[in-house]
């Protein structure tokens, strides 16, 4: 008998019909003799709709209340799913994040899981029930308040439960057949990846591939949880995310391609501090000011200086843009710069592959492909297994398609996107 954690994303439980379809799948897994713990997201675009509602009453909603509001989404789907399973003659019990023992830090909207005490989930399993847990939410012991883990956080709930319960596998059910070489909504000839290392998946998730929540991949890697990303709309085998140090879960030998996948995101902005005096300490001063805003900086570029002045550019999530600009504006005299520019019409495209370590000429090939397509590169950053570039936002999708072809990732089959609005 195996213990299986199954996570169903919003598009898999978008309406009553879908909930019944998912319930049937869960019942079949249970009847096959497995213990089943289910993590569920809010129905369809509920979380976005709740955010819109909040924005309708105030421009900057109180973070504590926003978490109270958003966690209602998962509460609806968990109860409906438990009802549907019970309606099929099988016992099921639903639990909120706090009932399931998801203990987190206190930051509303981006809490981190610090402990998992799933006593009630275990008891439910011991009684022969299917346990249904609301994804994306937790509880902070210090404040006594409900928290959320950040958008897409139900994946992380599932992985944390799988680790705490020592599950045999954590299945992430979504609206595509697995992890593809890039988002199949943008490139329909994207190829399904049968297995991917957690290291590459980390880079893809960190670069915007929302098919898995970044922290879920990190958590799975740290706790040795095997992930299987697959569709709730088909019976196809999906993608196995594994740690090569521990070996492939099915013992397969996997050759490392030079390029495994391409990720992209539009939610970043570029800040340029122009005409900064080119003397030691200025970069420290600028980035200390930015650090105090808690914004997450990604790429940084400093230009060659002319007349003892230089330009420093960096990217931040556009949601943090305003506070970063305000902080820098108020320190203008202290820093002694000439200009401040803010540009949110940029996008980031990242090419990822573990085989890049031993290959030469990958950057040249990337730059050539973009040049041939007339796409200008504004910033570049690299890691051992990733090259990222910043382009104009309106050419991002073209850049992804061109690179997908240039690196030989196109296939003849059309990828299926079963549901969801991609919102
Ligand atoms: P869920 O609601 O199931 O959590 P998400 O919308 O969060 O689903 O994630 C699934 C979506 O991720 C897909 O529909 C697809 O558009 C997008 N996606 C982005 N990059 C990739 C990729 N490399 N492979 C597969 N899907 C991707
Ligand atoms: N419902 C939350 C969201 O839309 C969490 C999740 O789906 O993983 O972000
Ligand atoms: Mg998701």
Locate 158 and state its tokens.
């599932």
Domain residue limits, the chain: 3-253, 263-406
Question: 364 alpha carbon to ligand 3 midpoint, in Å?
Answer: 33
Cα dihedral 279, 285, 290, 292, rounded to 10, equals 170
Beta carbon of 9 within 6 Å of any ligand 1 atom: yes
Q: Report the pLDDT value the prediction gives residue 422, as an integer from 0 to 100.
A: 67
Which CATH code for domain 263-406?
3.30.2130.10
Beta carbon of 44 within 6 Å of any ligand 2 atom: no
**Buried b or exposed e, range 363-387, using 16+ CB within 10 angstroms:** eebbeebbeeeebeebbebeeebbb
The ligand 1 atom at the shortest distance from the C-alpha of residue 175 is 14
pLDDT of the chain, 423 residues: tens digit per residue: 899 999 999 999 999 999 999 999 999 999 999 999 999 999 999 999 999 999 999 999 999 999 999 999 999 999 999 999 999 999 999 999 999 999 999 999 999 999 999 999 999 999 999 999 999 999 999 999 999 999 999 999 999 999 999 999 999 999 999 999 999 999 999 999 999 999 999 999 999 999 999 999 999 999 999 999 999 999 999 999 998 888 777 777 777 789 999 999 999 999 999 999 999 999 999 999 999 998 989 899 998 888 899 999 999 999 899 999 999 999 999 999 999 999 999 999 999 999 898 888 899 999 999 999 999 999 999 999 999 999 999 999 999 999 999 999 999 888 888 887 766
User: For ligand 3, a single-atom ion, which residues have Cβ within 5 Å?
Assistant: 9, 152
Beta carbon of 180 within 6 Å of any ligand 1 atom: yes
Q: Report the pLDDT value the prediction gives residue 303, as an integer from 0 to 100.
A: 85
Beta carbon of 353 within 6 Å of any ligand 2 atom: no
Distance CA 121, CA 101 (A): 9
Question: 211 alpha carbon to ligand 1 midpoint, in Å?
Answer: 3
Q: Any alpha helices (H) in 136-270, and if so which ranges?
A: 154-164, 198-206, 214-223
Beta carbon of 423 within 6 Å of any ligand 1 atom: no
Closest ligand relative to 204 C-alpha: 1
The ligand 1 atom at the shortest distance from the C-alpha of residue 155 is 4
Specify the CATH architecture of the domain 3-253.
3-Layer(aba) Sandwich (3.40)
Q: Considering Cα of 157, then 163, then 167, then 168, what sign does the dihedral take?
A: positive
Beta carbon of 41 within 6 Å of any ligand 2 atom: yes
């Amino acid at each position: 008998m195996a213990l299986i954690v199954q996570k169903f994303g919003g598009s898999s439980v978008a309406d009553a019909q879908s909930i019944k379809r998912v319930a049937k799948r869960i019942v079949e897994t249970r009847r096959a003799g497995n213990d089943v713990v289910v993590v569920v997201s809010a129905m369809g675009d509920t979380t976005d709709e709740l955010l819109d509602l909040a924005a309708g009453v105030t421009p900057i909603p109180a973070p504590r209340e926003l978490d109270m509001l958003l966690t209602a989404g998962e509460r609806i789907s968990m109860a409906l799913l438990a009802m549907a399973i019970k309606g099929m003659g099988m016992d099921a019990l639903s639990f909120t994040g706090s009932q399931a023992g998801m203990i987190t830090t206190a930051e509303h909207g981006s809490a981190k899981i610090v402990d998992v005490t799933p006593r009630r989930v275990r008891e439910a399993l011991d009684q022969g029930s299917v346990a249904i847990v609301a994804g994306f939410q937790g509880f902070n012991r210090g404040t006594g308040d409900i928290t959320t883990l950040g958008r897409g956080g139900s994946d992380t709930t599932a992985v944390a439960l799988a680790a705490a319960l020592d599950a045999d596998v954590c299945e992430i059910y979504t609206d595509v057949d697995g992890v593809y070489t890039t988002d199949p909504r943008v490139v329909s000839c994207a190829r399904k990846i049968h297995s991917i290392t957690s290291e590459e998946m980390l880079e893809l998730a960190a670069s915007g591939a929302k098919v898995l929540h970044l922290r879920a991949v990190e958590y799975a890697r740290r706790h040795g949880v095997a992930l299987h990303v697959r569709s709730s709309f088909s019976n196809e085998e999906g993608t196995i995310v594994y740690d090569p140090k521990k070996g492939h879960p099915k013992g397969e030998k996997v050759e490392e391609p030079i390029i495994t996948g391409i990720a992209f995101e539009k939610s970043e902005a570029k800040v340029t501090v122009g005409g900064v005096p080119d003397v030691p300490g200025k970069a420290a001063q600028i980035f200390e000011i930015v650090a105090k805003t808690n914004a997450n900086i990604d790429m940084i570029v400093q230009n060659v200086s002319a007349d003892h002045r230089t330009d420093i550019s960096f990217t931040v999530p556009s949601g943090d843009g305003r506070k970063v600009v305000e902080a820098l504006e108020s320190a203008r005299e202290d820093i002694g710069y000439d200009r401040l520019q803010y540009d949110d019409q940029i996008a980031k495209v990242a090419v990822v592959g573990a085989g890049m370590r031993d290959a030469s000429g990958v950057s040249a090939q990337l730059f050539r492909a973009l040049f041939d397509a007339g796409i200008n590169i504004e910033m570049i950053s690299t890691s051992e297994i990733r090259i990222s570039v910043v382009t104009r936002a309106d050419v991002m999708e073209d850049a992804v398609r061109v690179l997908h072809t240039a690196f030989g990732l196109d296939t003849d089959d059309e990828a299926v996107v079963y549901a969801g609005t991609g919102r």
